[in-house]
Amino acid sequence: KLPVESIQVVLEELRKNGNLEWLDKNKTSFLIMWRRPEEWGKLIYQWVSKNGLTNSVFTLYELVSGDDTENEEFHGLDESMLLRALQALQQEHKAEIITLDDGRGVKFF
């Protein structure tokens, strides 16, 4: 058991490293991330590039649940983390999140 002050130090270090995000202003609820969204985005983009899939459009479902990605580390990734990863790629101009008739998708550049 750690004193509250020590727990706060650990949480702050995780936040500084990008592995923790506070979910409320009072800092009572947080999300701990094994990998930062940028790291997930990098893994996804490496897969896209390695397989010659730039300029392709995927549904979010295809990326995390499709047969083509079942051996990839991002297979089964939570949709909220997937969106964060894709937003990071969008900021780097490597992807664009789009709205499709049956949900969301992404186009890679």
Same domain, 65 and 90: yes
DSSP 8-state secondary structure symbol assigned to residue 94: S
* Owning domain of residue 46: 37-108
* pLDDT, position 107: 97
- Strands (E) across the chain are located at 20-22, 30-32, 57-59, 95-100, 103-108
Same domain, 30 and 42: no
Same domain, 27 and 67: no
Task: Count the Cβ atoms, other than its own, within 10 Å of residue 52.
Answer: 8
Same domain, 26 and 1: yes
Sign, Cα dihedral of 31, 32, 34, 36 = positive
What predicted TM-score, i.e. pTM, was given to this entire model?
0.86
Residues of the chain with pLDDT under 50: none
Same domain, 69 and 19: no
Residue identified by tokens 């049956």 is 102
- How distant is the alpha carbon of residue 1 from its chain centre? 31
Residue 50 phi/psi, 5-degree rounding, is -60, -35
* pLDDT, position 100: 84
Question: Quick check: 35 and 79 in contact, CB under 8 A?
Answer: no
* pLDDT, position 49: 97
* pLDDT, position 103: 86
